[in-house]
Amino acid sequence: MNTAAIDVSGLTKSFNGKRVVDNFELRVERGEIFGFLGPNGSGKTTTIRMLCGLLTPDAGRGTCLGHDIIRESRRIKREVGYMTQRFSLYEDLSIRENLDFIARVYEVADRDQTVEATLERLGLANRSRQLAGQLSGGWKQRLALAACMLHDPKLLLLDEPTAGVDPKARREFWDKIHELAATGITVLVSTHYMDEAERCQKLAYIAYGKLLITGTAAEVIAHSRLVTWAVSGHDLFGLAAELRRLPAIAMVVPFGNALHVSGTDETQLAAALVPYRDRPGLNWTRVEPGLEDVFIRMMDFAPDNFDS
């Protein structure tokens, strides 16, 4: 018996002759919080829509919650909560009216009680009469999550749910996600935020339709084999231009008031930095590479499938 919430392989989808998702495979265990990362246009949304039955793949196979993604897409839709990138509820209806409408669509039993319980669960009860169009980004996001939860889904597919939301609201949202996961709900969430990626139990990185890597945050970082130094001091802009010309240096990325200077060969990187280590006004520190370092590096090697 397949115990995975998501288990797909070979998923492929093209639009207008361009392959947006190319031979994609993924396995997500039940109860996991799985982060789905990649740049804009990488195929994340298309993949999510294939997983929940909204798009039919051109090729590939697999299951979602034990149901065949091609033959049983209707059953998948009944058991999945899908939160889109853009707020898609009715702005001229109140919070309660929106939830009541969604509950009717899903033919939820004990509709009134379910709506009331969902309002309480997501902290929306005190605002239940407020029009959705009057809500801030953070509250709209919470309402959208509440709408996903009405039919008691076993899997949440969240497509960049915190885009444009302030840090406090993002943190509160993720606290809710962890609360839901603790009850056994599986979560697949796409995000551009590295602090959110670090809150996921496993990660998958997709670029231009191709899956590049999966694993825990620690495994992804270790796999990159990046060696990173941080440097702070004067004229970092000029220093970055000099360092980028050196073959041993894979990338130079500004991080606040410092630069992260990375390579994949520790010996060659150390030798390349020797002339700069004693330069007056510069402070060098060996640091562990972060997820952002790793994903920027991955992008350097990902072929753009929209190149003509």
pLDDT over 60 at 58, yes or no: yes
**What Å distances lie between residue 27 and 43, 76, 221, CA to CA?**
17, 16, 20
CB 160 within 8 A of CB 190: yes
Nearest to 224 by CA among 303, 304, 271, 289: 289
Q: What is the pLDDT of residue 302?
A: 61
Q: Which contiguous run of DSSP H or E holds residue 64?
A: strand 59-64
Neighbours of 130 (CB within 10 A): 15
- Please return the burial class of 129, using the count of CB atoms within 10 Å of its CB with bins 0-12, 13-18 and 19+: exposed
Neighbours of 51 (CB within 10 A): 29
Which residues of the chain does CATH 3.40.50.300 include?
Answer: 4-220
Q: Which of the four pLDDT bands, split at 50, 70 and 90, describes residue 1?
A: low
Higher pLDDT, 301 or 184: 184
Q: Which of the four pLDDT bands, split at 50, 70 and 90, describes residue 194?
A: confident
CB 215 within 8 A of CB 200: no
- Sequence letter at residue 1: M
Reported as half-sphere exposure (CB side, CA atoms, 13 A), residue 136 has a value of: 8
Q: Which two tokens stand for residue 174?
A: 């993720």
Query: What is the rounded distance in angstroms from the CA atom of residue 223 to the CA atom of residue 115?
Result: 45
DSSP per position, 97-129: HHHHHHHHHTT-TTHHHHHHHHHHHTT-GGGTT
* CATH of the domain spanning 227-288, picked from 3.90.1570.10, 1.10.3720.10, 2.40.50.140, 3.30.70.260: 3.30.70.260
**Mean pLDDT, the chain, whole residue set:** 91
Which residues of the chain does CATH 3.30.70.260 include?
Answer: 227-288
**Structural fold of domain 4-220:** Rossmann fold (3.40.50)
Query: What is the rounded distance in angstroms from the CA atom of residue 2 to the CA atom of residue 224?
Result: 31
The percentage of residues in the chain with a pLDDT greater than 70, rounded to a whole number, is 97
Mean pLDDT of 72-93: 91
Q: Which contiguous run of DSSP H or E holds residue 171?
A: helix 167-182
Higher pLDDT, 234 or 300: 234
Q: Which of the four pLDDT bands, split at 50, 70 and 90, describes residue 2?
A: low
The percentage of residues in the chain with a pLDDT greater than 90, rounded to a whole number, is 72
pLDDT over 80 at 300, yes or no: no
First to last CA, the chain: 44
Query: What is the rounded distance in angstroms from the CA atom of residue 124 to the CA atom of residue 119?
Result: 5
pLDDT over 50 at 307, yes or no: no
**172-190: b (≥16 Cβ within 10 Å) or e:** ebbebbeebbeeebbbbbb
**What Å distances lie between residue 185 and 149, 182, 250, 270, CA to CA?**
10, 7, 40, 46
Query: What is the rounded distance in angstroms from the CA atom of residue 139 to the CA atom of residue 220?
Result: 33
Q: What is the pLDDT of residue 281?
A: 93
Q: Which two tokens stand for residue 123?
A: 């902290």
Q: Which of the four pLDDT bands, split at 50, 70 and 90, describes residue 168?
A: confident
Q: What is the pLDDT of residue 308?
A: 35
Write out pLDDT tens, residues 7-32: 999 999 999 989 999 999 999 999 99
Largest CA distance in the chain: 72
Write out pLDDT tens, residues 97-137: 999 999 999 899 899 999 999 999 889 999 999 999 999 88
Q: Which residues pair with 33 in a beta bridge?
A: 187
